[in-house]
Amino acid sequence: MARTRLYLVRHGEQDPASAHALDGGLSQLGREQADRLGRWLRTVPFSMIHYSPLARAVQTAEVVAGHLPQVPRHACDLMADRTPVPSAGQRGRYPDRWLAWLDGVPDDERDEDASALQAAVEHLGVTGDKDRHELLITHNFVIGWFVRHMLEAPVWRWIGLNQANCAITIVQWNSDRPPTLISFNDTGHL
């Protein structure tokens, strides 16, 4: 029985001075969070670190990778900051109370009908011939989408599944049973 275990982590705290910048880096606390995360994960047999190309995720990955020097890493567009928004034909699948907020999502973050996020799940959530552990350093809504998928919840249910900075969510695929949510938003290492 082969399994794939993905460790989904939201980047460290963003520098408040760049909070309104499109691509701000980490605060000092964010760097400390990433360091604690790296120390906590150093015994996991990761085969790869995938991270969002945004500065706060890149910097988180750099700090964590200092504790995992043998693990290859790469910027991965599948981990980019995305917000699932319904297309015109899918708006009825979302509660009315969220539609105005979703209409205001900036164009560069919009993922219509979560097509890119679903592609990320389909690409990364597969099993092979042997066990695989991978670290994904990404953003809140990306993790929310993976969790929603694992729970087979309605398409809008990623809303409100909020991740703490550098918290760990673990999802697992097995070759002989349905996917499983192992842990959600674990901050015990922080």
| Beta strand pairing call for 168-174 and 132-138 | unpaired
The number of distinct structural domains making up the chain is 1
| Beta strand pairing call for 73-75 and 177-186 | unpaired
Closest residue by Cα to residue 164 from 186, 146, 182, 147 = 186
The domain that contains 149 carries what CATH number?
3.40.50.1240
> Which helix (H) or strand (E) segment is 117 a member of?
helix 115-124
- The parent domain of residue 75 ranges over 3-186
| Residue listed under structure tokens 């890119």 | 116
What φ, ψ does residue 68 adopt, rounded to 5°? -130, 60
Tell me the pLDDT tens digit for each residue of 81-106.
999 999 999 999 999 999 999 999 99
Find residue 131's DSSP bridge partners.
none
Residue 126 and residue 6: Cα distance in Å, rounded?
A: 10
Tell me the pLDDT tens digit for each residue of 138-151.
999 999 999 999 99
Closest residue by Cα to residue 11 from 172, 167, 171, 116 = 167
Instruction: Write out the chain's pLDDT in tens, 190 residues.
Output: 789 999 999 999 998 877 666 678 999 999 999 999 999 999 999 999 999 999 999 999 999 999 999 999 999 999 999 999 999 999 999 999 999 999 999 999 999 999 999 999 999 999 989 999 999 999 999 999 999 999 999 999 999 999 999 999 999 999 888 999 999 999 999 9
